[in-house]
C-alpha cells in the first residue's frame, strides 16, 4: 500500500465493514439508547426486593440480560463508527454517549450483588425450586456465592468503593508521567542526523542495524527513567500497598489470590508456569547464545535483543492472497470453521485498509446478536497476514460463543482471550513453513516465531515472577526500595537470559516503564494463553477433525459457561498441569533446532 494514505471516502466499499448489519441507521442506535435508559429506570423497582420472591430475582436477571444486550451494541457500534475516522464530531459524541451508557448500566445494577448475597442460601434454593426459569441463572448465582466470604457489609463495601479512586492514583500518576511528562534526549545516527527518541520510535530504533544507534536510544530512554528512579519506586510501591489493603480488607490470603479469584484460577497455575519455564531456560540461553554468534559481537547487550538476525522477507501480499493463505491454513479446523471465516471475508466483517484518521492497530469486537467485526490496517506485509489470522481467530471465537450460549454466558474471560487468535497464528506458521520454498522466507518465518515466543512466554513469565516477588515482599511488610527493585529485576534478567547477555545498569531499571505492572497479576495470562494455543494447534494438526471438533465444541462454543480452566481441559488442554506449557516450550526448542539447521 505505497503512496499517500487515502481518505475514507476513497476506500472501496468492499474493503469497509458493514456496520449497517448492526444498525441500519444512527437513529436506531438512539432508539436503543433510550430503551437502555428506560430499563435502567425500571431497575429501581427491584432495588431492595430481590430477596422477597423468586419472581423478582428472575425479573432482575432477565432485565440485566436485556440491558447487557443493548449496552454492548451501543458501545461497539459507536466506537467502531468513531474508529473508522476519529475526526468525525458526530461519532466522537456518540462514543462519549456510549461511555455514559456503560455508567448508566453500572449504576442501575450496582445494588444487586450485595443484595443477592444477603439472601439466605436455603431461601435461594427454594427460589430455584419454585421458579424453573431461574435454572438458566444458576451458574451466575453460584459465581456470586463463591465469592461471598470476600464480600463485606454494605457500609464496608461503600468505604472500599469510595477508596477506589485513591487505589487507582499510583496508576494514574504513572500513566500521566509516562505519556505526558517524561521526555527522552534525541540521538544521532552514524551520518550525524538527529533522531527523536519517543515511546513510538524506541522499538524501531532498537531494530536499527547500526549498533551505536541502538545503544544511544537505549541509554536515552532508560537513562531518563533512571533520573526518576526514587519517584517511580515510590509510585509503584504505593500501588503494591494499595493492592495489599484491598486484598486484606476482602479477607484474601494474598494480593495474587484476590486477582486470580476473578476467573477461579488456581494459584498453582501461576506457580507451575514459572517452574516449568525455569526448567526450560537452557533453551532460552541457547537462543541468546545463537543471537550473539550471528551478530558477531564480543558482548551481547540488551539493546541487541531486538535487531533482526535474519534478512526480512520482502515478499508482499494482496488482501486476496492473504485471505486465501489464512483459509488454507485453518483447513485443519474443518469445513464449518472455514465456511464461517469465508463468510466474514465475503460479507464485510472487516475494515481492511488504513485511511486518514483511522484508529491504528487491529482488533476484533463483537456484540451479541450480530456477527463480529474486525478492524485492520492491512499493509501487505507478512506481519499483516498474521494479524488477519489472529483477529479472525478472535472473531470466530466470539461467533461460536455468541451463537451457542445465552447472553448471560456468552463473554469469554480474559484468561482465555488470546487462545483462539494465537492458535490461528500457529496454524498459519505451520502452513507457510510447509509450502514455502524460499530459504530466506523460511528463515524469517522461523525467527518470527522464536521472537514472538521469547516476548510472549519467556519475557511475560519474567514479568510475572517479578510481580510475585515484589507483592509478597510488601505483603510481608518487607522494605522495598529502588535499589531492591532494581536488584530483583536484574537478577531475573540474568536468570532468564543466561550468561551470554551482558547486563547493563539501564537494564535493571526496565521494570519502571512496564505499564502492565499497575494491572496486577495480568501478564502471566499472555504466557498461559500462548502455551494453550500452541498445544491446541499441535493437537489439531496431529489429531485431525476429532481434535478440531473437540476444540470448537468445548472451547470456542463455551463462552463463560464454565470456569476457563475447565473449558480448556474439556477441549484437550489442562493448564492445571505443567504439560501444556512444557509442550509449548518443546515446540520452541524444536523451532530453535530447525533454525540452526536452516542457517547452516
CA distances in angstroms from 408 to 18, 63, 132, listed in the order given: 26, 11, 16
- What is the per-residue pLDDT for 3? 53
Active site residue 391: yes
Cα(39)–Cα(401) distance, integer angstroms:
25
Q: Which stretch of DSSP H or E encloses residue 107? A: helix 89-109
* Adjacent-strand bridge partners of 309: none
Task: Say what the pLDDT of residue 313 is.
Answer: 67
| Residues counted in the chain | 600
Rounded CA-CA distance 218/220 in Å is 5
Domains of the chain: 8-151 (1.20.140.70)
Instruction: Tell me the C-alpha to C-alpha distance, in Å, between residue 290 and each of 194, 274, 323, 496, 498.
Output: 32, 24, 34, 15, 12
C-beta of residue 408 within 8 angstroms of C-beta of residue 116: no
| Contacts of residue 298, Cβ cutoff 8 Å, sequence gap at least 6 | none
What pLDDT was estimated at residue 360?
A: 83
> What pLDDT score does 2 carry?
44
Per the CB < 8 A criterion, the answer to whether 147 and 257 are in contact is: no
Which pLDDT score is estimated for 271?
97
Q: What is the pLDDT of residue 1?
A: 40
Q: What are the start-end ranges of the H helices in 312-418?
A: 319-329, 335-346, 382-404
pLDDT in tens, the chain (600 residues): 445 789 999 999 999 999 999 999 999 999 999 999 999 999 999 999 999 999 999 999 999 999 999 999 999 999 999 999 999 999 999 999 999 999 999 889 988 988 999 999 899 999 999 999 999 999 999 998 998 899 887 678 778 877 877 888 999 899 889 988 999 999 999 999 999 999 888 988 999 999 999 999 999 999 999 999 999 999 999 999 999 999 999 999 999 999 999 899 999 999 999 999 999 999 999 999 999 999 999 999 999 999 989 987 678 999 999 999 999 999 999 999 999 999 999 999 999 999 999 988 899 999 999 999 999 999 998 889 999 999 999 999 999 999 999 999 999 998 999 999 999 999 999 999 999 888 888 998 999 899 999 999 999 999 999 999 999 999 999 989 999 999 999 999 999 999 999 999 999 999 999 999 999 999 999 999 999 999 999 999 999 999 999 999 999 999 999 999 999 999 999 999 999 999 999 999 999 999 999 887
Count of CB atoms situated within 10 Å of the CB of 505: 12
Q: Catalytic residue, from 80, 115, 243, 391: name it.
A: 391
Exposure of 190 in the CB half-sphere (CA atoms within 13 A) = 6
DSSP at 509: G
DSSP labels, 428-463? HHHHHHHH---HHHHHHHHHHHHHHHIIIIIHHHHH
DSSP string for 271-312: HHHHHHHHHTHHHHHHHHHHHHHHHT-SSEEGGGSSS-SSPP
Phi first, then psi: what are they for 188, rounded to 5°? -125, 145
Query: DSSP letter at 371?
Result: -
Amino acid at each position: 500500500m505505497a503512496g499517500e494514505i487515502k481518505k475514507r471516502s476513497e476506500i472501496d466499499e468492499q474493503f469497509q465493514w458493514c456496520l449497517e448489519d448492526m444498525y441500519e441507521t444512527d437513529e436506531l442506535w438512539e432508539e436503543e439508547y433510550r430503551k437502555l435508559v428506560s430499563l435502567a429506570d425500571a431497575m429501581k423497582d427491584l432495588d431492595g426486593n430481590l430477596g422477597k420472591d423468586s419472581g423478582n430475582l428472575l425479573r432482575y436477571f432477565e432485565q440485566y440480560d436485556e440491558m447487557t444486550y443493548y449496552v454492548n451494541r451501543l458501545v461497539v457500534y459507536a466506537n467502531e463508527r468513531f474508529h473508522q475516522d476519529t475526526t468525525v464530531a458526530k461519532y466522537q459524541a456518540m462514543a462519549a454517549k456510549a461511555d455514559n451508557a456503560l455508567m448508566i448500566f453500572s449504576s442501575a445494577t450496582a445494588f444487586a450483588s450485595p443484595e443477592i448475597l444477603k439472601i439466605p442460601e436455603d431461601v435461594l434454593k427454594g427460589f430455584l425450586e419454585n421458579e424453573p426459569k431461574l435454572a438458566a441463572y444458576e451458574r451466575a448465582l453460584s459465581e456470586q456465592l463463591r465469592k461471598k466470604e470476600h464480600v463485606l457489609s454494605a457500609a464496608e463495601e461503600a468505604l472500599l468503593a469510595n477508596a477506589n479512586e485513591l487505589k487507582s492514583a499510583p496508576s494514574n500518576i504513572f500513566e500521566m508521567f509516562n505519556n505526558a511528562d517524561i521526555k527522552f534526549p534525541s540521538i544521532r545516527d552514524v551520518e550525524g542526523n538527529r533522531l527523536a527518541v519517543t515511546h513510538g520510535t524506541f522499538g524501531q530504533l532498537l531494530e536499527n542495524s547500526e549498533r551505536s544507534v541502538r545503544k544511544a536510544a537505549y541509554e536515552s530512554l532508560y537513562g531518563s527513567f533512571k533520573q526518576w528512579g526514587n519517584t517511580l519506586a515510590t509510585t509503584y510501591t504505593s500501588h503494591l500497598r494499595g493492592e495489599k489493603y484491598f486484598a486484606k480488607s476482602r479477607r484474601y490470603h494474598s494480593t495474587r489470590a484476590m486477582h486470580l479469584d476473578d476467573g477461579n484460577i488456581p494459584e498453582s497455575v501461576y506457580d507451575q508456569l514459572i517452574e516449568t519455564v525455569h526448567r526450560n531456560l537452557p533453551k532460552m540461553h541457547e537462543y541468546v547464545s545463537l543471537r550473539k554468534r550471528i551478530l558477531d559481537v564480543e558482548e551481547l547487550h540488551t539493546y541487541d535483543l531486538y535487531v533482526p538476525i535474519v534478512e526480512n522477507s520482502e515478499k508482499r501480499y494482496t488482501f486476496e492472497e492473504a485471505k486465501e493463505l489464512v483459509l488454507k491454513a485453518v483447513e485443519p479446523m474443518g469445513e464449518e470453521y472455514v465456511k464461517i471465516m469465508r463468510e466474514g471475508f465475503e460479507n464485510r466483517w472487516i475494515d481492511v485498509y488504513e485511511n486518514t484518521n483511522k484508529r491504528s492497530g487491529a482488533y476484533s469486537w463483537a456484540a451479541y446478536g450480530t456477527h463480529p467485526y474486525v478492524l485492520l490496517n492491512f499493509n501487505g506485509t507478512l506481519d499483516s497476514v498474521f494479524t488477519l489470522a489472529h483477529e479472525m481467530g478472535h472473531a470466530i471465537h466470539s461467533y461460536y460463543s455468541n451463537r451457542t450460549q445465552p447472553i448471560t454466558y456468552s463473554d469469554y474471560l480474559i484468561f482465555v482471550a488470546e487462545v483462539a487468535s494465537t492458535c490461528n497464528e500457529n496454524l498459519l506458521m505451520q502452513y507457510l513453513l510447509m509450502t514455502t520454498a524460499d530459504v530466506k522466507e523460511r528463515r524469517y518465518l522461523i525467527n518470527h516465531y522464536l521472537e514472538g515466543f521469547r516476548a510472549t512466554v519467556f519475557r511475560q513469565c519474567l514479568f510475572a515472577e517479578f510481580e510475585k516477588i515484589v507483592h509478597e515482599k510488601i505483603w510481608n511488610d518487607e522494605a522495598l526500595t529502588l535499589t531492591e527493585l532494581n536488584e530483583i529485576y536484574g537478577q531475573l534478567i540474568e536468570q532468564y537470559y543466561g550468561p551470554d547477555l551482558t547486563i547493563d545498569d539501564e537494564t535493571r531499571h526496565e521494570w519502571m516503564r512496564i505499564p502492565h505492572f499497575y494491572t496486577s497479576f495480568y501478564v502471566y495470562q499472555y504466557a498461559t494463553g500462548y502455551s494453550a494455543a500452541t498445544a491446541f494447534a499441535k493437537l489439531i494438526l496431529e489429531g485431525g477433525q476429532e481434535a478440531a471438533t473437540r476444540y470448537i465444541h468445548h472451547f470456542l462454543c463455551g463462552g463463560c459457561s464454565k470456569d476457563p480452566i475447565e473449558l480448556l481441559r474439556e477441549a484437550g488442554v489442562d493448564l492445571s498441569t505443567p504439560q501444556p506449557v512444557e509442550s509449548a516450550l518443546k515446540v520452541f526448542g524444536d523451532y530453535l533446532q530447525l533454525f540452526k539447521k536452516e542457517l547452516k
